[in-house]
Amino acid sequence: MAMVQAKSIIYRKLAAHAFLWAWLALIIFPLLMVIAISFRTGNFAVGDIIPSHPTLDHWRLALGMSIVDESGRTIPPPFPVLLWLWNSIKVASVSAVLIVALSTTCAYAFARLRFGGRSLLLKAMLVFQMFPAVLALVAYYALFSRISDYFPPLGLNTHPGLIFAYLGGIALHVWTIKGYFETIDKSLEESATLDGASPWQAFRLILLPLSVPILAVVFILAFITAITEYPVASILLQDESKLTLAVGSQYYLNPQEYKWGDFAAAAVLSGFPITLVFLLAQRWLVGGLTAGGVKG
């Protein structure tokens, strides 16, 4: 009996491995393809999957260097990919820092202080975060064109304006941090208050240092959300030099000017660091993800 069972387990294991490898081959194929395409000559598929004449031209263009083609013409880089990546990182880091600051102070009040409308506000936040910003793009555009009229540095086509718009998405983070604060024992803060510390001091000097892990998770979540955000950025940003990567990348695959090879190099170059950040952080993120809805 035991022998038979062991044998059937071996078969099952083999079947499981075979299935997983077949599935992985299917899933990873597009990603490997893009890497191959980024080294292939020209911008069109020529029939072979592994490039026969590897070239670094697409990578040079992606890194902002001009190349000289066979007829001696100098081809400048089609798009400022590195600038777009920098714009994305800038917008994402600043908005993530501000989101952490805003949601931490909010979460502190919700977790530790008592005030009118507390539970109503908490519930309202849960409901309102279900409505995606993409449904209100007209309102966003109208709002920012008004801000442009009265205070241009925060208006349309500015990075501060985009960062400002991203600050609206803090509801889930407030819930996450509030949940974490509630797991920390109150007695430390209470004894500090007895010694004359103000609520701000108790929050700043005792609670915050204890909450660094959750703040890091929220920072990374907010960072990834901002760097992959497309609709709001596509409405607010207009100049090519101001675009974020998410908005700019699509211009490579314009049917009139199809730059498939150049896109592949730019995609690998810019997608790699973001993917790496996500994979490194995923152990800590999984908990936050299961608690809070779907990746946007």
Partner 1 sequence: MASAAATGQGIAAPVRPAAHWLKWAIIGVIGLVNLYAVTLMYIQGETIFALVTLILVATGLYVFAAPGAYVHRYIFPGVATMFIFIVFPLAYTIWIAFTNYSATNILTFERARAYQLSQSFQIADQSFDFALYGAGTNTYRLALTAADGERFLSPPVELRVPGAGPQPPASTAAIEVDLLPATAPPAAEPLPIKDLVRLRGVLQEVRAHLPNHTDLRMSGLRQFSAIRPLYQVLPSAQGGDGLILVNQQTKERIAPDMRSGFYRALTPEGEFTGPGIAPGFSVFVGWKNFLRVLTDPGVQGPFLQIFGWTLTFSLLSVIFTLAIGMVLAALVQWESLAGRGLYRLLLILPYAVPAFISILVFRGLFNQNFGEINVLLSQLFGIKPAWFNDPTLARTMLLIVNTWLGYPYMMILCMGLLKAIPSDLYEAAAMDGSNFIRDFFSITVPLLMKPLTPLLIASFAFNFNNFVLVQLLTEGRPDIIGAQTPAGTTDLLVTYTYRIAFEGSGQDYGLASAIATLIFIMVGVLALINIKIMRVDRPT
Binding window for partner 1 (CB under 8 A); candidates: 54-62, 73-81, 209-217, 255-263: 255-263
Distance CA 17, CA 21 (A): 6
Distance CA 43, CA 60 (A): 14
Among 62, 243, 252, 265, binds partner 1 (CB under 8 A): 252
Cβ burial 222-231 (10 Å sphere, 16+ → b, else e): bbbbbbbbeb
Distance CA 76, CA 65 (A): 7
Size of the site for partner 1 (CB under 8 A): 96
Residue with smaller CB distance to partner 1, 46 or 68:
46
Q: Which residues pair with 74 in a beta bridge?
A: 68
- Closest Cα partner for 225 from 160, 154, 158, 168? 168
Is residue 79 a contact partner of residue 248, using CB atoms and an 8 Å limit?
Answer: yes
Q: Read off the tokens for 11.
A: 């078969």
Residue with smaller CB distance to partner 1, 57 or 225:
225
Tell which phi-psi region holds residue 293, choosing left (phi > 0), alpha (psi between -120 and 50) or beta. left
Quick check: 19 binds partner 1 (CB under 8 A)? yes
Give the other-Cβ count within 10 Å of 30's Cβ: 8
Residue with smaller CB distance to partner 1, 15 or 68:
15
Least distance to partner 1 from the beta carbon of 65, Å?
A: 22
Q: Which of residues 200-219 bind partner 1 (CB under 8 A)?
A: 200-201
Q: Is 178 exposed, middle or buried (0-12, 13-18, 19+ CB in 10 A)?
A: buried
Least distance to partner 1 from the beta carbon of 43, Å?
A: 8
Least distance to partner 1 from the beta carbon of 168, Å?
A: 3
Quick check: 86 binds partner 1 (CB under 8 A)? no
Binding window for partner 1 (CB under 8 A); candidates: 64-72, 178-186, 214-222, 286-294: 286-294
Residue with smaller CB distance to partner 1, 39 or 252:
252
Residue with smaller CB distance to partner 1, 72 or 209:
209
Beta-carbon contacts of 206 under 8 Å, excluding residues fewer than 6 positions away, are: 188, 189, 192, 197
Any idea what DSSP says for residue 252?
A: G
Distance CA 245, CA 91 (A): 11
Residue with smaller CB distance to partner 1, 213 or 287:
287
Least distance to partner 1 from the beta carbon of 294, Å?
A: 4
Q: Which of residues 108-147 bind partner 1 (CB under 8 A)?
A: 108-110, 113-115, 121, 125-140, 142-143, 146
Q: Which of residues 145-174 bind partner 1 (CB under 8 A)?
A: 146, 150, 164-165, 167-171, 174
Rg (CA), the chain: 25
Residue with smaller CB distance to partner 1, 127 or 212:
127
Quick check: 45 binds partner 1 (CB under 8 A)? yes
Residue with smaller CB distance to partner 1, 74 or 283:
283
What are the phi and psi torsion angles at 40 (to 5°)?
-90, 145
Least distance to partner 1 from the beta carbon of 48, Å?
A: 9
Q: Which of residues 52-81 bind partner 1 (CB under 8 A)?
A: none
Among 7, 18, 22, 44, binds partner 1 (CB under 8 A): 44
Q: Is 200 helix (H, G, I), strand (E, B) or coil?
A: helix
